[in-house]
């Protein structure tokens, strides 16, 4: 491992590390625009200049392009290096708008940071600025080409990393343009990462522009709930409105990026139709009163129809904390059924895949990226869990073979089509992985693993906490709702964040729904109690590989301060709790209800 000195600090790093990375490893920051850990080096921006004082290389060098060598002595503060970086910033700012105070990227712009850090404040060049016409890139991404500093990060990400073909770089004389050949919606399902990766504001999230400054944001580490991969995110909110979601790095999971589904599905949290108030028999009431009413109604139903006439129904989208409490509630009630799935087929498939993945055979997204042989087996990763397709592409870029068994499936990489698993040379691979979903023939993979002990499986489940809910399902012997309703004994359903088809609720005399979505059960329920969305609570999901990940509360629950009418005024009345702010996490409601039932059975209520 080469040893070098950076700003008088001895550093020892692995062969192949660049001087910029070596400096970062000892917390010495070097300005950079074009270099990105996921994209590597391009040498395009020239702002990472350092002075090499001693050793095999001398003089001003670009630290992102230079691999470390034994005996190097590097200065990041040498006056010559500082002057070079200052000059680069000044050149970049010749054409860049000087409008930080009113720019929508202000406060989260790398160019702004390095311009201020480098001390550039006066524009000495008095010529005309080069300007560009912007393109319409769809409803999610705003294009502002005048801010471009030609770092090439966007096109390197879009084409090389993500495999997109409808966006690129075009040049004519001194003008370089990053956009589409013809304007129109970006086609890549990963296009939103342009927003994160652009070091200035050429690409911004159109859904959140001009809504708040970086320092106004409510933010917390979170986990994406929109598929079972558990990609790490940072949701951004202000005044109880979820404004946007950005990627959060986790090397073992999503690495640096997220898909557009995870990034642009924020409106579900701000939906005006969300249940915001507790309702008992069409009358709005407080949460405590609704819980008491539910406890009494449970007793009534049992008295009227006999014990075991109530089904407690959860789902795989509820956080693990609530899923764990559901069996306790079912036990206290003496429920006739505990359910986490709607159909028997869904139940059987989910449990079978859980069994297959429970013996340390699960492949993480990092495993997929590092695999040398990937089999896409009867699933559609780009639609079911887009970042899994992205992981397969990274493996393919590094030389892995990708085999496809299935019809009509597109992937962002070259594939070899096969008709059966036997056609794939798994034995020749060192790190083979099969990507499948719950519809897979589990016995087949089980048998295959006996003969290929190094084979790993990435089994895609349908929802964020399918794995965790399935574990509770397996431990408690939960059944599907379809089975529970078969003999007609169930006369009451308590649905907790459960997506029950309206047809199954038909003819059930009593329905209670605890949810934050306007699900069918909420429409049919006599008692509705609002729960919090994942960004309004602390909790955890267990992803498809069995990885438990915590998410933190980003914002308080309640109607956004701007009100539900986008042109309306916030409520004028003074109150201690925001309108709709009574919602509680499902686990907290369940714990309270269990206590009420306990007190009742001991004659304390």
Chain residues in the site for ligand FES (CB under 6 A): 32-35, 43-48, 62, 64
Task: Find all residues with CB under 8 Å of 531, minimum gap 6, and list them.
Answer: 496, 497, 514, 515, 516, 583, 584, 585, 586, 589
CB of 48 to ligand FES, least distance (A): 3
The token pair that represents 327 in the structure block: 């069996």
H/E stretch holding 442 reads helix 442-451
Coil, strand, or helix at residue 466?
helix
Closer residue to ligand FES, CB minimum distance, 150 or 358: 150
CB of 10 to ligand FES, least distance (A): 23
Closer residue to ligand FES, CB minimum distance, 44 or 219: 44
Closer residue to ligand FES, CB minimum distance, 23 or 34: 34
CB of 32 to ligand FES, least distance (A): 4
Closer residue to ligand FES, CB minimum distance, 92 or 357: 92
Report d(CA 161, CA 224) in Å as an integer. Answer: 21
Q: How far is CA 245 from CA 84, 190, 235, 237, 266, in A?
A: 36, 13, 4, 9, 7
Report d(CA 391, CA 411) in Å as an integer. Answer: 11
Give the DSSP per-residue string, 409-437.
---SS--EE-SSGGGS-GGG-SSEEEEEE
Closer residue to ligand FES, CB minimum distance, 20 or 293: 20
Closer residue to ligand FES, CB minimum distance, 44 or 220: 44
CB of 42 to ligand FES, least distance (A): 6
Closer residue to ligand FES, CB minimum distance, 47 or 445: 47
CB of 74 to ligand FES, least distance (A): 14
Q: How far is CA 404 from CA 34, 159, 380, 420, in A?
A: 35, 22, 10, 9
CB of 50 to ligand FES, least distance (A): 10
- Give the residue carrying structure tokens 């720019």: 103
CB of 251 to ligand FES, least distance (A): 21
Report d(CA 454, CA 434) in Å as an integer. Answer: 11
Pairing of strands 510-515, 527-530: parallel
Report d(CA 392, CA 412) in Å as an integer. Answer: 8
Report d(CA 123, CA 121) in Å as an integer. Answer: 7
Closer residue to ligand FES, CB minimum distance, 33 or 140: 33
Pairing of strands 539-542, 548-551: antiparallel
CB of 89 to ligand FES, least distance (A): 12
Task: Find all residues with CB under 8 Å of 437, minimum gap 6, and list them.
Answer: 353, 378, 379, 384, 459, 460, 461, 462
Closer residue to ligand FES, CB minimum distance, 35 or 203: 35
CB of 39 to ligand FES, least distance (A): 11
Q: How far is CA 76 from CA 79, 83, 120, in A?
A: 9, 11, 18
The token pair that represents 206 in the structure block: 């159109």
């Amino acid at each position: 491992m080469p040893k070098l000195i950076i700003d008088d600090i001895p550093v020892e790093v692995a062969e192949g590390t660049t001087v910029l990375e070596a400096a970062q490893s000892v917390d010495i920051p070097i300005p950079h625009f074009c270099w990105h850990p996921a994209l590597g080096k391009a040498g395009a921006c020239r702002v990472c200049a350092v002075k090499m004082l001693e050793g095999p290389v001398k003089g001003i060098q670009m630290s992102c392009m230079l691999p470390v060598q034994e005996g190097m002595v590097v200065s990041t503060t040498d006056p010559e290096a500082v002057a070079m970086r200052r000059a680069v910033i000044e050149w970049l700012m010749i054409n860049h708008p000087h409008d930080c105070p009113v720019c929508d990227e202000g406060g989260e712009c790398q160019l702004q940071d390095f311009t201020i850090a480098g001390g550039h404040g006066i524009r000495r060049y008095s010529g005309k600025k080069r300007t560009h016409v912007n393109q319409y890139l769809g409803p999610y991404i705003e294009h502002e080409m005048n801010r471009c500093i030609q770092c090439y990060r966007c096109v390197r990400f879009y084409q090389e990393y993500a495999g997109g073909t409808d966006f690129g770089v075009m040049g004519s004389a001194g003008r370089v343009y990053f956009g589409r050949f013809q304007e129109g919606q970006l086609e890549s399902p990963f296009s939103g990462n342009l927003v994160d990766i652009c070091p200035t504001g050429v690409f911004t999230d159109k859904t959140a522009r001009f809504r708040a400054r970086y320092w106004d944001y409510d933010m917390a580490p979170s986990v994406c709930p929109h598929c079972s991969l558990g990609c790490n995110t940072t949701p951004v909110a202000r005044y109880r409105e979820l404004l946007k979601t950005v990627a959060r790095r986790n090397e073992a999971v999503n690495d640096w990026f997220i898909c557009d589904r995870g990034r642009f599905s924020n409106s579900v949290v701000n939906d005006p139709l969300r249940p915001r108030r507790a309702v008992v028999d069409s009358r709005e009431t407080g949460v405590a009163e609704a819980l008491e009413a539910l406890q009494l109604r449970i007793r009534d139903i049992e008295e009227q129809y006999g014990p075991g006439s109530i089904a407690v129904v959860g789902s795989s989208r509820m956080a693990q904390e609530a899923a764990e409490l559901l069996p306790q509630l079912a036990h206290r009630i003496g429920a006739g059924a505990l359910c986490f799935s709607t159909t028997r087929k869904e139940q059987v498939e989910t449990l079978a895949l859980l069994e297959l993945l429970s013996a340390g055979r699960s492949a993480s997204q990092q495993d997929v990226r590092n695999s040398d042989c990937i089999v896409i087996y009867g699933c559609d990763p780009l639609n079911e869990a887009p970042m899994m397709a992205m992981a397969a592409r990274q493996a393919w870029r590094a030389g892995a073979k990708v085999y496809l068994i299935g019809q009509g499936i597109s992937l962002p990489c070259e594939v070899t089509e096969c008709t059966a698993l036997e056609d794939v040379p798994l034995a020749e691979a060192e790190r083979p992985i099969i990507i499948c979903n719950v519809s897979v023939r589990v016995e087949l993979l089980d048998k295959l693993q006996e003969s290929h002990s190094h084979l790993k499986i990435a089994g895609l489940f349908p929802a964020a906490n399918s794995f965790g809910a399935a574990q509770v399902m397996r431990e408690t012997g939960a059944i599907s709702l379809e089975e529970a309703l078969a003999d007609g004994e169930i006369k009451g359903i308590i649905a907790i964040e459960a997506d029950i088809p309206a047809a199954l609720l038909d003819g059930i005399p009593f329905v209670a729904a605890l949810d934050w979505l306007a699900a069918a059960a909420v429409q049919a329920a006599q008692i509705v109690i609002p729960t919090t969305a994942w960004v309004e609570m602390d909790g955890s999901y267990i992803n498809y590989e069995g990885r438990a990940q915590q998410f933190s509360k980003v914002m308080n629950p309640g109607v956004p301060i701007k009100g539900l009418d986008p042109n309306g005024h916030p409520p004028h009345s003074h109150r201690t709790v925001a309108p709709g702010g009574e919602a509680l996490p499902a686990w907290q409601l369940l714990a309270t209800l269990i206590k009420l039932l306990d007190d009742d059975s001991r004659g304390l209520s």
